[in-house]
Amino acid sequence: MQNNTEILKQKIQFLRNFLKKDSINEKEINLLKNFFLDFSFITGLTYKMKIENFQRVTINSRIFGEEKRITEISHLENPPEMYVKRYGRANMIGQSVLYATDNPLTALAEMRPEAGQLITISKWKLITDYDLTVNSIFKNSPLTKDVGNLMTIKAQIEYSKLVSKINYPKELLDQIDLLIQFICDCFSKEVNDLNHFDYFLSAHYANQIFTTLQNGEIDAILYPSVRQSLELTNIAMKPTIFKTNYVLESVEESKLVRFSNNGWQLEGTGDSKKFENGTILWL
C-alpha cells in the first residue's frame, strides 16, 4: 500500500506536466480546477516583516488606449476587480492584487513596454507601523551562477531554522517540503505572454495562500522575478493592506526610447511629489 508521501508525489508529478511553457490553454482550466477539488493541501513559509516602500510601473496606454499622461492616482493602483479579465502570476480572473517591486527594472522586464510608450513609475511609502504577514516563494535560486536573491537567501535560512525547531514526523516534513518546492516551481514557470491561461498554477496557489493559508491572514507574497532569472523580487499584496497602510510618495513619467539586451533607455518627461484630492500635480 502506498504511503501518503508517495500519493503526494504522484499528484505533483501529474501537475508537473503543466509547468512546461505554453502547456495550459483554456481547455485545461476545468481539468485542473476539478483536480484541485481533491488536492487542496496548502503550506508555506510565513513571517512578519515591514515593507517600508516599493515601486510600481504603469504603462499609460494600457489605461487609456493611447499615449496620455496619468493624472489620477487611482490609475496607478491595482485595477478594480471587474477589469481583471486575465490570469496573472498571482491573481485569478476577477481577482485584483497589487503588484509591486523594490526595483522598477523588474517591473519593466515583467511588463515589456514597447519603444515609444509612456510609462509612469510610482513610489509608495508605509505610513503606519504595520508588520505585514508575508509568504515567501524561496526554494529556487537565481539561474545566474554566483548571483544571489536576498529574499530567497533570507527565507531559506528561516526555513532551515524552522525545520530544525519543529517536532514533526519525518514523513510530514517530507510532504511539506515536496509541496513547497512544487509551489515555488509554479511561480518560476516560464509562460507565453500571449497565453494568460499559462499562469493558472501560480495564480491558483496565490489564491490559496491569500484565502486559506493561516486562515487568510497572509498580506503579501514575495516571489522571484522569472524575467530577471530569479535574481530580483516581486511583491503581490492584498489591496486592503495596500490602501490602509501606504500612500503615494512620488511619480516619474518617462518615454521608452529603446530596449535591448543591455537594458532600457528612458527619456524623462515629467515628475511630481505633489498630490491633491487624488490628483497628481505634475511639474
In this prediction, residues 203-232 reach a mean pLDDT of: 94
Instruction: Say which range, 8-17, 117-126, 220-229, has the weakest mean pLDDT.
Output: 220-229
Instruction: Give the count of alpha carbons within 13 A of 193, CB side only.
Output: 7
**Per-residue pLDDT at 1:** 56
Q: How far is CA 48 from the centre of its chain?
A: 18
Model confidence pLDDT, tens digit, residues 83-134:
999 999 999 999 999 999 998 888 888 888 889 999 999 999 999 999 999 9
Residue 262: pLDDT band by 50, 70, 90 thresholds? low
pLDDT at 218: 98
Sequence ranges of the domains in the chain:
4-280
Sign (positive/negative) of CA torsion 187, 193, 198, 200? positive
Give 1 or 142, the one with higher predicted confidence: 142
CA-to-CA distance for 219 and 246, rounded, in angstroms?
Answer: 13
Q: What is the DSSP letter of 232?
A: S
pLDDT exceeds 70 at position 261 = no
Average pLDDT, stretch 18-44? 96
Render pLDDT for 169-205 as a digit per residue (tens, 0 to 9): 999 999 999 999 999 999 999 999 899 999 999 999 9
- If pLDDT is split at 50, 70 and 90, which confidence band does 146 have? low
Region label for 263, one of left (φ > 0), alpha (ψ between -120 and 50) or beta (otherwise): left
DSSP state of 88: B
The yes-or-no verdict on residue 145 having pLDDT over 60 is yes
Asked if pLDDT for residue 265 goes beyond 90, the answer is no
Confidence of residue 258 (pLDDT cuts 50, 70, 90): confident
Over pLDDT 70: what percentage of the chain?
95
Would you give the end-to-end CA distance of the chain in angstroms? Answer: 71
pLDDT tens column, 65-80: 999 999 999 999 999 9
Of residues 265 and 147, more confidently modeled: 265
